[in-house]
Structure 1
Amino acid sequence: MGSDKDHILESLIAEGRKRDAMHLLCEMVGEAARQRDFVRADALRKKMLQVDDMAIALIVEAGECIEEEKNRVIDGRHRENWKELYSRMTPGERSAFFFACDPLPFSSGYFLFRQGEKNQNLFFVDDGCLQLLFLSGERREKILSRVGPGEFAGEDTFFGSSLCTESLVGLTQGLCRRLSLEALGRLERDFPGFIKRIQTYCIHAGTTGQKLAARGVNRRIYVRIPDNGVVVFQLLCIEGSGNNVLLKGLMSDISAGGLSFHVSTSNDRAVRSLLGREIGMKFMVPLQEGRHPVVCKGTVVGIMPCQNCEYSVHVKFRQLLRHHPVVPESH
């Protein structure tokens, strides 16, 4: 039947009968959408724009039909889990978001992301239960929290540039929907301001960091000491040698296990490319008896944008400092 209508459509277009062709196309869009063949429905709607882009009423009608059928696909349980999120979206955004997220089944022991690795996905749990695990320096595993239906995970690394500070692993069988950075970029292009709405929702609902802080959970093993010394660093090659380009940053704080420093640059891509890379560093560590020079290696585990083209770079030392930094006594 569809083939017959395709032939009729081509005949109408060839004869210049745009009005009849547009009405037939609108009918075909509705049929494809009701059959949940949204790829064909969208293609037919694009063809309507090619045949007669001035037939606005019919084109809008076809678009509304597609969105209506797409929204019917969103099952009631999922919609109820995420009613607060969907309340911030238009019908078009809701269906686009739903289809941009990949369904991801999980089972007990299945890792969605691992501590110390990169994560470029935001996970929305529909069914089942997961747990956030933290592995301490003594290799002891600690359960930070559980994530169930209507809750999300991965937002800290999804919206920022940092390695995972915990692991997300299945506790039971279940299903979540996974939004990738690439898919989020497409949503932003189609619906300007979409990223901001998702970020605002996550902050309002409570990010992982906010929830853990509210419970008094502290994942830091070593005390951080504020400092403002200069850090000279260079990116290391795979074999561990430097690339001969020395850069400077201003230290923000330091502990026995790592430090953070600020760098100024207008090259956003270059500084974000440091994430997960090993760097060599030279700096002065504050000790009770004075400042002591240190040369060491570490891995960039986080990069946070600040104001005025500044970035906060967070580094984990390959080996603990021999002497723990302290706040020197004032004289």
Structure 2
Amino acid sequence: AARENHFEQAERLRDRLIQLDSMSLREIIRAAEIIEEAKRASIGSAQLATWNDLAQALSAEEFASLYHAMTPKNYADGEMVARQGEFLSSLFFVNSGRVQLYAVSEGREVPLKIVGPGEIIGFGTFFEISVWTVNAKSMGAELKVLTREKLHRQKDAYPALQSKLMDYCARFQSSNALFSRTKRTRRQFERKKISGRAAIVLLDEQGNETGIGAKGDLLDISRGGLSFSLRFSKKKNAAALLGKKIRVNIRTDTSISSFSCDALVMAIRCHDYVGNDYSLHVEFQKELNKVEMQQVVGKAK
């Protein structure tokens, strides 16, 4: 199966061998070697040239495994790869062709960059867990798509792979950095720093409370949204909240009453991997009016 490039089938057969006879170490090791050798041999010279820098940043086994965890996809000229505000759990590797990155600000398209072969897009939203903050439109391109689930499957065999990939992606400018150079803003409303507590409850598709909730510390607020800190034992638990509807109850240190409203989780950012501290950034389902904003912030200026 491996020699015919049916790698998932080969890996299932190897796992089956482990289940049936875990003491057959020689056969198990040889099966793993055959799979890895076939993976490396199946990558053409043109692909190795395109992704040479990435290959140099990883071990040969890590690169081969990562490469085959991706799914190739062709995008026609003008076809959208990702839209601003969209929830996608994928990382895009430009294999050939070009992709135009642009943002929409104050109703106008703002060109940011044209990316080409050997570049990666979407890493900010992929690793930070957020919606896309820019648009990506194909100019005729073949991309290799890596889902967060496929990357997570590599963890047991290659525990350092994700951190190495994050370090490699750091050499490219993020979409937020590209947008900041335009001196424009995507914010509709002024943010105010606040202190206090936020209690959230996850809602189901019908908008009913599920009983699953958490509490955290308020960070800032605007008429359009809110951010607050939460602690999660695992990153995947934090990532599971992206795009979910919640009901949030807000009580600041300066207000005399609490305020409750529904919101959508737009981003989750890690601030301390050791302490598992994250910040949740949510968008209110309905913008706060001036009276509601004053009720929330109380005496805060």
What's the TM-score once normalised by structure 2's chain length?
A: 0.76
Segment of structure 1 superposing worse, 103-112 or 273-282: 273-282
- The structure that is strand-richer by fraction is 2
- Give the distance between the partners of 1:36 and 1:244, measured in 2 at CA: 46
Cross-structure match for 2:245: 278
Shift in Å, 1:225: 2.0
- Give the distance between the partners of 1:103 and 1:214, measured in 2 at CA: 32
Shift in Å, 1:280: 2.5
Shift in CA distance, 115/72, structure 1 to aligned 2, threshold 3 Å: same
2:87 to 106, 118, 122: 118
Amino acid at match of 2:270: P
Cross-structure match for 1:168: 136
Shift in CA distance, 141/317, structure 1 to aligned 2, threshold 3 Å: farther
Q: How does 1:145-184 map to 2 (within 5 A)?
A: 145-170=113-138, 172-184=139-151
- Give the distance between the partners of 2:9 and 2:264, measured in 1 at CA: 48
Q: CA RMSD in A?
A: 4.1
Q: Deviations over 1:168-193 (max 9, x none)?
A: 221x2110111122221232222221
Identity of aligned residues (%): 29
CA contact (8 A) 2:134 2:175 kept: no
Amino acid at match of 1:127: S
- Give the distance between the partners of 1:55 and 1:262, measured in 2 at CA: 49
- The structure that is helix-richer by fraction is 1
CA contact (8 A) 1:45 1:59 kept: no
1:298 to 250, 263, 272: 263
Count of residues in Structure 1 that have an aligned counterpart in Structure 2 = 292
Amino acid at match of 1:305: C
- Give the distance between the partners of 1:133 and 1:67, measured in 2 at CA: 39
CA contact (8 A) 2:195 2:253 kept: no
CA contact (8 A) 1:227 1:254 kept: yes
User: Is residue 195 from structure 1 mapped to residue 165 from structure 2 by the alignment?
Assistant: no
SS at match of 2:167: helix
Shift in Å, 1:200: 0.8
Structure 2: gaps of 5 or more residues: none
Cross-structure match for 1:3: none
Structure 1: gaps of 5 or more residues: 1-28
Amino acid at match of 2:140: Q
Q: How does 1:36-185 map to 2 (within 5 A)?
A: 59=30, 63=33, 70-136=39-105, 140-170=108-138, 172-185=139-152
Shift in CA distance, 40/133, structure 1 to aligned 2, threshold 3 Å: closer
Structure of higher RCO (CA pairs closer than 8 Å, 6+ residues apart): 2
Segment of structure 1 superposing worse, 81-90 or 269-278: 269-278
Q: Deviations over 1:128-149 (max 9, x none)?
A: 122234345x654443333222
Amino acid at match of 2:188: I
1:240 to 207, 230, 235: 207
Shift in CA distance, 268/276, structure 1 to aligned 2, threshold 3 Å: same
Larger radius of gyration: 1
CA contact (8 A) 1:163 1:301 kept: yes
Shift in CA distance, 208/283, structure 1 to aligned 2, threshold 3 Å: same
CA contact (8 A) 2:197 2:218 kept: yes
Cross-structure match for 2:230: 263
Segment of structure 1 superposing worse, 250-259 or 202-211: 202-211
What's the TM-score once normalised by structure 1's chain length?
A: 0.70
Shift in CA distance, 295/46, structure 1 to aligned 2, threshold 3 Å: closer
Shift in CA distance, 84/291, structure 1 to aligned 2, threshold 3 Å: farther
Segment of structure 1 superposing worse, 233-242 or 193-202: 233-242
